[in-house]
Amino acid sequence: MKQTKIRASVAAITGMALFGINGLAQADSVDALLQALRDKGVLSQAEYDTFNNARDNERVEKVKESALNKGKIKLGDYINSITPTGDVRVRYELRDAKGQAVNGTNGQNAFEKLGRARYAWHLGFKSDSDNDFFTEFRFASGTNSRSPNNDFNNTVTTDAGSAPMSKQGGAQVDRVMIGWNTTEWLTLKAGRMQNPLYTTSMVWDGDLNPEGLAEELHTKFNDVDLFATLGQFSLRTKYDRQTYTDPITGAVVKENNVATSKLFAFQGGAHYKFNDETSVKIAPVYYSYAGSGGNGAFSPGLGNLVGATSAQLKCSSGKYGASLPVGTCNNTGTNNLAILEVPAEFNWNMGGHPWKIWADYAHNFDGDDRAKAAGAITVANGGSPTLDKSSQDNAVLVGIQVGSPMALAAWEKVGTYLGSTSGMKKHDWIARAWYQRVEAYSLDPNLVDSDVMNAQVNMQGLAASASYMLSDNAFVTLSGAHGTRINDALGTGGSVDTSIINADRRYNLLQMDATWRF
C-alpha cells in the first residue's frame, strides 16, 4: 500500500511538471527525473513509458503551435479577431454632358466628353472583441467623399507639368468607427461609418460614409422583423474668422464663428419572409436638416431656356424676382429640406432565378420654400408671392433586378447600386435596370449618386448594370446611364464630374470595371 501511494504521489508531481508550468525549456531535467525514478524502482517501465510518451506528445504539439504563431501579430486581451478587408478596381469610363458651360456664353450648346482610365482601392480592418465592442478603420484612394477614383496618368499639381506616366494620386481616411452591441436589440455606432440606413442611390451615393452617431434597434414580432435606425450626422463645418475694432476700447478683436450643417435621420422598417423564396421590405425615413454650414441657400439658376441659343441661367439673390450674374449660383445649399423617403423591395423566384423589384419615393415638405429661396417666384402688384416653378419637390425610382440561382438571404444582401455584388460567388451573375426622376427641390444634391445622373437634381433617366463573378472575389461589371433635364427653366445644381457643364440638358455614362476584393 505504501509503495502504491509513493508511486501515485510521484506520478501526480511528475504530471504537473509535464503538463503544468514546465515547458520545453526544461525537457532535459524532466528526462533525468523520470529516468531516476525508473532506475530506483519508484516507476515501473510501463509507467515510465506512459509518462515519457505523454511528454513527447506535448513537445510535438507545442512545436506545431509555435510554428503556426510564428510571424503573427499578437492581439490584445480583449480582441477576438482582426479581419483585413479591401478591394482594387480598374475602370474605363466614358462620360459626356451637353448643356450650359460654366461662365460661358454659348447658351445650352456647350458639350464636354470625358474618356478616362481610372483606378480605386480600399484597405481596412474590422475587429471584434469579447466585450461586445467592434471597430472599422479603412483607407480609400481619392480625395472626394463621393468617389474613390483617381485617374491613371493624372497630373494633380502644376509642378508636374505634362510629364508622362504621372504617378500622382490622393488617399483619404474613408471610415473610422467604433461600435457597441449593448444588447441583443440595440447597437450604437460613432465615427465615420458605412451608411447605416436602408436606402437607394437616388438619395445616397454609395461611396458616402456619414460622420456622427447612429443607433440601430431590431426585434421580431411574430414572423415580422422590425428595425429602426436613428442617425445624427455632421454634413459641413465652416470656420470664419472676423476681425473688428471694439468701439469702446479701440482694441482689435479677432473672433471665430463656426457655421455647421447637420442631418438627423429617423427610420423605421419591417421585413417579412413569406416563404424560402419570397420576401418584402419597406422602411420609411425622415430627414431633418439644421444649419447651413455657411453654405447659403440653394440657387441652381433660373431662365427661359427654350432652344439651344436661349439665354443663360441667372441666379437668385434670395429676393423675390431678383437675380445675380451668371456663374454665382449656389448648387449645393441645404436650406429648406424636410424629406420623407420611402424605399421598398419585393423579392421572389421565377424560372429558377431570384428577382427583385425595388422602388424609392421621396418628398420634400419644404420644397416650395426652397423654390422661394432660389428666387423661383414672382410678386404681382405687391401681392403675395406666386411660385412660378413649384411642385418640383418629388423624387421617384423604380427598378428590376435578376440574377443567378442563390438563396433568398444571399439575394437580399446583394444590393441595388450600380455594380453591387455583395456576397456573390464564382460564376454568379446579376443584371439590373431602373428609371429615376429627381425634381429640382426634392433632394439634397450633396448626397445623390455622383455616377447615375452626374450628382445632379432636376434630372430624369435610365440606369443599368450587369456583373459576372470570375471567382469568389473577382468580377467584371458593365454599367451605363442616360439622363435629361426635367425642367429647362431650372438649373440642375450639384457638384458635377463634368466640371465644364452645369446645368446639364443631356447626360450619358458608360463604365467598364474589373474588381478584385478580399
The amino acid sitting at 469 is: M
Rounded Cα distance, 13 and 33, in Å: 11
Q: What is the mean pLDDT of residues 418-441?
A: 95
CATH of the structural domain 89-517, one choice from 1.10.10, 3.20.20, 2.40.160, 2.30.30: 2.40.160
238 pLDDT above the threshold of 80: no
Residue 430 pLDDT class (50, 70, 90 cuts): very high
The amino acid sitting at 477 is: T
Please write the tens of the pLDDT for every residue from 463-473. Answer: 999 999 999 99
- Span of 73-77, 208-212, 325-329, 331-335 with lowest mean pLDDT: 325-329
Mean pLDDT over each residue of the chain, to the nearest integer: 81
More confident residue, 488 or 254: 488
Angstrom CA distances, 386 to 129, 381, 439, 489, stand at: 59, 11, 19, 16
Cell of 312: 443663360
Residue 97 pLDDT class (50, 70, 90 cuts): confident
If 0-12 CB within 10 Å is exposed, 13-18 middle and 19+ buried, where does residue 101 land?
A: middle
Please write the tens of the pLDDT for every residue from 28-66. Answer: 677 777 787 788 777 788 877 887 787 777 777 776 666
Length of the chain: 518
Please write the tens of the pLDDT for every residue from 158-203. Answer: 444 455 666 667 899 999 999 999 999 999 999 999 999 999 999 9
Listed in order, strand segments (DSSP E) in 199-337 are 211-221, 224-245, 252-273, 279-282, 285-290
Residue 502 pLDDT class (50, 70, 90 cuts): low
Q: What is the mean pLDDT of residues 137-166?
A: 72
**pLDDT above 70 as % of the chain:** 73
Q: What is the mean pLDDT of residues 83-92?
A: 96
**Which stretch, 72-76, 232-236, 264-268, has highest mean pLDDT?**
264-268
**Which stretch, 62-66, 78-82, 231-235, has highest mean pLDDT?**
231-235
Distance of CA 193 to the CA centre of its chain: 7
Q: What is the mean pLDDT of residues 332-338?
A: 90
Residue 458 pLDDT class (50, 70, 90 cuts): very high
- Residue 51 CB contacts under 8 Å (≥ 6 apart), including other chains: 11, 14, 15, 18, 34, 43
Q: Identify whether the C-beta of residue 430 lies closer than 8 Å to the C-beta of residue 404.
A: yes
Cell of 401: 433586378
